[in-house]
Amino acid sequence: MRTKISLATILLFASLFILGCQDKKNNKTMNEITKLDDNTKLIDGIKFESDFLFDKNDFDLKKYKYNQTYLEDIKIKDLLDRNFRFHFMEYLKDVKTEDDNFKSTLICKLLLTRIFQLSDSNAFYILSEISKEEIISYNGIELYESTLIETFLQNPYLYIQQSAKYKDSSLLDYIMKMFPTYLINEEFLEMNLGYIRKGKNNMLLLKPESIKLLTLKSLVKKIDLLSKIEIQLGPSFYTNFETKKEFFTDISSLFGNDFLEKLSKSEKELYEAKVLSILADFYIKLDSNKEIISDPDGYTNLRKDKNTTSEILQKVQSGEQVEVLDNTGDWCNVKTKEGKIGYIHKSRIKSNNNSVSVLRIYDRADFTSFSKEIQPKGEIEYVNKINGWDFIKVNGRVGYIPTEEQKQEFANRPKRKNSFLAEDEPEPIKKKAFWDFFG
């Protein structure tokens, strides 16, 4: 027997279903309100301990009052109220004396500390809102941009999460406007003749001077555990016109898989639009075909053909990278950063595995002395320069290699005709000379 369900019954069940949904929604909202509907003050929960964003003595506590309440004792729930916050911001903007500027400074410090220590979502929202006022921002986050960046590096997910939650990326936008100055890009490497000895693709490299700005002990410790990348830099304004080695820190793991897996769809979209779109210009991509020029003279010649008498197309400075198009034989066909294509001898090219392809060394500073080709393992030590020759130590043995000037001099030695069959036969010397093929 079929049971007939009346329209009234259907409406009753529908009403109960809707009320149930509303109850769930209301419970969720009530839970959120419950968190806000308490007496939590700005100062509550903050621990003035060793790993602290600011010096405790720099906090002007028990100094400024708003409506007879010290600023640090203002309740979080009041600052979340739009009407209260409007009037409070008017109070912060009311600067009659120089000392009044520090009202905004104190509020900024308290909110930043809550974000760092407590991951306080409400503090994030309040700081975002009040910092939209130019005067408050000027005396607040703009004084502590390095501190803001530190809190971001300590917990980048929090900034993505909260920006997506409130659909407000103003704090994140401010960070990403300043953060790139802490990093290097491929243009930096080109300008400073930078050569990365060992690394991986898509590195995000933090400058050593940026690390010195970090004050948070926990963040410094975190950064210390990340990979250090050695970069050889040529003479430039950055290196005070010296050739030197510097160590940069790869922070790409801070935005790696563990970070990405936390992101919801909306958070990922915001991250890609607001963060990744900017960081993309700073990821270092290593090209296995790019190798570095290494010549003790400070430069080598790019030649038109595979010999030392051919036309010099360009002088290539030591430390510069070239793209190797073909490395067959003793000469490499390369392309310089200026786009010129020519030949450079392998002995003047150091590959990404930090070894010279092949090197001929002599027993004496003389092309007629005994010579031998070797495959260097590790660094070549330039001990001294003697009469246009470099005295070197490599693979546990010592010997001589010619400088650019010595090679050129040898190539330009006068030639004479010794017979009608050998019009270009070189003028004989005491011993059979080795043909200088270094370029």
Q: pTM of the full predicted structure?
A: 0.60
pLDDT of 182-201, one tens digit each?
999 989 998 888 888 777 77
Per-residue confidence (pLDDT) for residue 289, from 0 to 100: 64
Look up the domain containing 262 and give its range: 151-285
Per-residue confidence (pLDDT) for residue 48, from 0 to 100: 82
- Asked if 322 and 239 sit in the same domain, the reply is no
In the chain, which residues have pLDDT < 50?
Answer: 1-4, 19, 22-34, 353-356, 416-439
- Asked if 371 and 270 sit in the same domain, the reply is no
- Asked if 136 and 186 sit in the same domain, the reply is no
Evaluate whether residue 113 is within a structural domain: yes
Evaluate whether residue 427 is within a structural domain: no
* Count of CA atoms in the C-beta half-sphere (13 A) of 429: 14
Alpha helices in 119-256 (DSSP H): 121-130, 134-138, 145-154, 156-165, 170-178, 186-191, 208-211, 217-224
Joined together, the tokens standing for residue 20 give: 């149930």
**CB count in 10 Å sphere of residue 425:** 12
pLDDT of 26-48, one tens digit each?
344 333 433 555 789 999 999 88
- Asked if 166 and 229 sit in the same domain, the reply is yes
pLDDT of 90-146, one tens digit each?
999 999 898 899 999 999 999 999 999 999 999 999 999 999 999 999 999 999 999
Joined together, the tokens standing for residue 281 give: 């210009």
Q: How many domains does the chain have?
A: 3
Calpha distance 26→289 (Å, rounded): 62
Per-residue confidence (pLDDT) for residue 50, from 0 to 100: 60
Per-residue confidence (pLDDT) for residue 382, from 0 to 100: 72
State which amino acid sits at residue 330: D
- Asked if 280 and 297 sit in the same domain, the reply is no
Evaluate whether residue 28 is within a structural domain: no
Q: Residue 90: enclosing H or E segment and its boundaries?
A: helix 82-93
Calpha distance 161→158 (Å, rounded): 5
